[in-house]
Amino acid sequence: AQKITQTQPGMFVQEKEAVTLDCTYDTSDPSYGLFWYKQPSSGEMIFLIYQGSYDQQNATEGRYSLNFQKARKSANLVISASQLGDSAMYFCAMRRGRQAGTALIFGKGTTLSVSS
């Protein structure tokens, strides 16, 4: 069965510091996609970054990068130079296969708190 595990219920970081949010996944499919979403208290899930299972390089999007270690089945999100606006819930998710529109499986999330 496919599963996403996020073991850090909460993380605390000072402004301008880097932080790593952990995510491990379990799947037997050779082709899959991994996603990170940010959910502020308003509720909207905001897409941050994507990594495909066949991608050779780690994905980067601005201050976000994904540390993809396929053999360990981990896809950790690294946020560099944290900002107060980064305080939110962060979800790791996995999509199975290459078919269009396949469902996302989410972890339980990690709450990130950034202080000044």
For residue 42, how far is the Cα from the chain centroid?
19
Amino acid symbol at 67: N
Residues from 25 through 54 that contact another protein (CB under 8 A): 31, 33, 35, 37, 42-47, 50, 52, 54
Residue 33 CB contacts under 8 Å (≥ 6 apart), including other chains: 50, 51, 52, 53, 94, 95
Residues 61-100, mask of contacts with another protein (x by CB under 8 A)? ------------------------------x-x-x--xxx
Residue 74 bridge partners (DSSP): 24, 69
Rounded least distance, CB 47 to another protein, Å: 5
Nearer residue to another protein within complex by CB, 7 or 14:
7
